[in-house]
Amino acid sequence: MEGLSSQELQDDDFDSKEHQACYVYTPEDRDDRPTKRRRTVKGKTKQTETESVQEPSNKCPFPVLLNGEEKEETVKLRYETYCRLWGEQQERTNAILQSFNNKTLEDVSGFVKSPTAESCDGKIPTALILTGPNIASHTPLFEQLASRIRDEEKIGPVVILTSKDATNLKSILKKLIRDATQQDEGIDDEEEEIVGRKGSKLLNYDLQILQNWCKLHEGQKVVIAIQDTEAFDGTILSDLVSLFSAYMDRIPFTLLMGIATSVEIFHEKLPKSTIRLMKGDKFDVERAEECLAQIFNDSMIGENPILRLGPTVCDFLLARYRDHNQSIQAFVGALKYAYMSHFYANPLSIILAFMDNLDSLGEVLTPLHIEAIRNVPSFKRYVEQKLNNRDATEVRKLLGDNDHVRSTVIASAAGCRSYAVCVGQALTVLEIARSCQMNQNRIPRYELYAQVLSGELHSGTTLVRDLLLSMKKMNSTSLLNLLDKVTEEVQVPYLVENVAPLRERIIALVEAAESSGKKTLNSEFNVTKDSLRATAVSKRIQLGEQKSALTKEDTEYSKLVQQVHDVAESYFKEHLKGLQGLFLHELFFYDLISPHRDVRTHPSHGLVFAPRSRSTVERALSAPQDYLGCECCTDESGEEVGIKATQPPASIIYQLYLESGALINIFDLWRAFYQVIGGDEGEDCDEATAQALAEMRFLGLVKHTKKKADHLAKLAWKGL
């Protein structure tokens, strides 16, 4: 080739594009690519992005309902109400999440701040954090620790290491040095030159770099947080601890070890020589179930929320949390979706915007809203109830008088809000009463909430009857403790008015009994019926002897216990009711089933809270008419006709891709695509093919292979 002239090379028939693997298309109607922008300051870039996101938009993202006849003002009102109510709920939820594990954060940050290498006898200060088996809560916990130590306490940089970073010791050191030296400094890897003591460039995994950084930042510690210690390779972790120990006189390391199992298993993972290099303490973390209980009680059972979850959606979310992800963030995200879905698709949700001013609600409800109210299931049950009571006049007004419906809606809205608050208070009383009894298993309120709404839990169920029976058997000390907790934590007027006098009388009886030398009063209902005697007569005789042994104060106390029992029974009977008989409960309790049904049992509905992204992508590519809503991809009867030229290029390529083997010849694929779109009439065939293949590669369906340069490797098969 060296002997050939340039002219001979130009005349050669060889075309390099025939063997080119990638082509770049530059349409003539587009301008040339602009010059590369100069690198800007990180803070300014974030500010520009924030400003662009916060640009106000006059277009409301919610659709027009009521067959397109809904007013624009009410559409905006639905969106504004959603933003306001969810903003208030999110603010309360964030406060709970920030306060959760607050004691652990304070203890760990205090431990990191206090010890030095001298106080630890030259060993590495190590905090063993018992995070528990809930893997989903580990990442938020360590993010909170990093934020507290780095930003609030200003102790030093925090580097979080996970098992996916532990491929080898070199990769761990690279990440450790990069994250520790570049936190909050905005240093670019390409602009920074790392120079050693004698002017030689240091390798990016040399701890000498971190040592030089510590000299420039005296007084700061380097905190290494290992999030999942059990998943780490034991040899790599042992080498890493040994390396930290060797540099302790030059770099003030502090280790945070996340342990999901136990300290004993952690000790078995590492050799004793490595364990002797560490010195510290262990810290317990609050259970994620306690955080879930706080968030659930605030969003469902508390007095602040207006919109709550219904029994079906609530059961589904709790079952998903308990059996699958166990993530607090996933539960909060599902709660946000429930808020959005309720206001997005329900035109009657504007009623929730007037809960603080129900008098002005009648001005907003149009005849279309009134007609929609007449179509909700609870309105039908409400009218049937009136018919059963032979109140025909009320039924005629509800069916024909719009003004009467408006006044009924205003009264029922206040009743729905009151019902939700009373159910929450009754569940709180129930939980307090069960906690004061030793033989009752603790059941959190979020487990009983859905049972009350669905009508499965009421005053006649076994749980409530056993509770009331145990209450009658309480002695004076236990009963006074129960009454004190109820009156302090739940301000229910009915209980305060009826229980307070009984409590004062029980205290007076106890004081009278103490003067005679008896400290605790017993109830006659607590007399044991167990006996070794075989006959019924002998058992009755023994029972009579036990009752005759009761003092006068015990007899009076038993009468008071019976009165307390009657008050509690009537309270539970009044407030532990299902919502099916409540008019307009659909507006205050989000319980739409169809968007959340399982695909296996209801094929026409997707599982929103657990999306099946792969099947959705496959269906969109193989049957684009289901999403585009077009008629060009089906025949006259509406049946699918396979591959058609009117389909999107990516869909055509995907359907051809399904017919291929493990290796796909690019030229054969292009030729088949060329024939589908119309042969010589396909003007943009090359560009459309390249774009479709790029989209397929972006979706992870194909990749380039080294086996054959002009082939693509197939990565996924439909349905597998």
| CA 376 vs CA 55, 399, 646: distances in Å | 39, 13, 42
Q: Does one domain contain both 281 and 331?
A: no
Q: Does one domain contain both 160 and 223?
A: yes
Query: What pLDDT does residue 406 have?
Result: 92
pLDDT exceeds cutoff 70 at 99: yes
CA–CA separation, 335 and 323 (whole Å) = 18
pLDDT digits (tens, 9 = 90+) for 462-496: 889 988 888 888 888 888 888 888 888 888 888 88
Residue 176 belongs to a domain: yes
pLDDT digits (tens, 9 = 90+) for 225-240: 998 888 888 889 999 9
Tokens 């998903």 found at: 320
Closest CA to 145 of 39, 283, 293, 301: 283
User: Sign of torsion, CA 441 444 449 451?
Assistant: negative
Residue 515 belongs to a domain: yes
Q: Does one domain contain both 442 and 554?
A: yes
pLDDT exceeds cutoff 80 at 641: no
For the chain, how many structural domains are there in total? 4
Confidence of residue 315 (pLDDT cuts 50, 70, 90): confident
pLDDT exceeds cutoff 60 at 186: no
Q: Does one domain contain both 320 and 267?
A: no
Residue 104 belongs to a domain: no
Residue 669 belongs to a domain: yes
Query: What pLDDT does residue 381 have?
Result: 92
Mean local confidence (pLDDT), 398-421: 91
Confidence of residue 680 (pLDDT cuts 50, 70, 90): low
Q: Does one domain contain both 342 and 476?
A: yes
| CA 393 vs CA 160, 241, 362, 400, 641: distances in Å | 71, 83, 22, 11, 59
pLDDT exceeds cutoff 80 at 499: yes
Query: What pLDDT does residue 570 have?
Result: 93
Mean local confidence (pLDDT), 14-40: 53
Q: Does one domain contain both 420 and 520?
A: yes
pLDDT exceeds cutoff 70 at 26: no
CA–CA separation, 21 and 649 (whole Å) = 20
pLDDT exceeds cutoff 50 at 117: yes
Parent domain of 14:
2-54
The answer to whether 596 and 515 are in contact (CB under 8 A) is no
Query: What pLDDT does residue 372 have?
Result: 93
pLDDT exceeds cutoff 90 at 541: no
Mean local confidence (pLDDT), 684-711: 85
Query: What pLDDT does residue 529 have?
Result: 47
SS3 77: helix
CA–CA separation, 113 and 270 (whole Å) = 26
Confidence of residue 407 (pLDDT cuts 50, 70, 90): very high
Confidence of residue 115 (pLDDT cuts 50, 70, 90): low
For residue 681, what is the domain's CATH number? 1.10.10
CA–CA separation, 518 and 386 (whole Å) = 57
Which of residues 277 and 198 earns the better pLDDT score? 277
Q: Which amino acid would we find at residue 200?
A: S
Which of residues 195 and 98 earns the better pLDDT score? 98
Share of the chain above pLDDT 70, in %: 80
Query: What pLDDT does residue 38 have?
Result: 45
Q: Does one domain contain both 123 and 266?
A: yes
Residue 86 belongs to a domain: no
Please report how many Cα atoms fall inside a 13 Å half-sphere around the Cα of residue 638, on the Cβ side: 2
Q: Of the residues 253, 286, 319, which one is the last residue of a structural domain? A: 286
pLDDT exceeds cutoff 90 at 76: yes
Rg over CA atoms, the chain: 36
Confidence of residue 613 (pLDDT cuts 50, 70, 90): confident
Q: Of the residues 546, 575, 604, which one is the last residue of a structural domain? A: 575
Beta bridge partners of 362: none
Q: Of the residues 545, 560, 575, which one is the last residue of a structural domain? A: 575
Q: Does one domain contain both 217 and 132?
A: yes
pLDDT exceeds cutoff 60 at 581: yes
Q: Does one domain contain both 156 and 42?
A: no
For residue 223, what is the domain's CATH number? 3.40.50.300
What integer best gives the mean pLDDT of the chain?
80
Residue 605 belongs to a domain: no
The answer to whether 181 and 194 are in contact (CB under 8 A) is no
Mean local confidence (pLDDT), 334-360: 90
Angle at 280 between CA 255 and CA 235, to 5 degrees: 50
pLDDT digits (tens, 9 = 90+) for 239-271: 999 999 999 888 889 999 999 888 888 888 889
CA–CA separation, 580 and 334 (whole Å) = 24
Whole-prediction pTM value?
A: 0.73
Residue 105 belongs to a domain: no
pLDDT exceeds cutoff 60 at 154: yes
Q: Does one domain contain both 272 and 171?
A: yes
| CA 630 vs CA 451, 541, 633, 647: distances in Å | 45, 87, 7, 10
Query: What pLDDT does residue 288 have?
Result: 80
User: Sign of torsion, CA 202 208 210 211?
Assistant: negative
Which of residues 709 and 678 earns the better pLDDT score? 709
Identify the H or E element spanning 516.
Answer: none
Query: What pLDDT does residue 42 have?
Result: 44
Identify the H or E element spanning 257.
Answer: strand 253-259
Q: Does one domain contain both 503 and 541?
A: yes
Q: Does one domain contain both 320 and 269?
A: no
Residue 486 belongs to a domain: yes
Mean local confidence (pLDDT), 672-696: 77
pLDDT digits (tens, 9 = 90+) for 35-68: 444 444 444 444 444 444 344 456 788 999 998 8
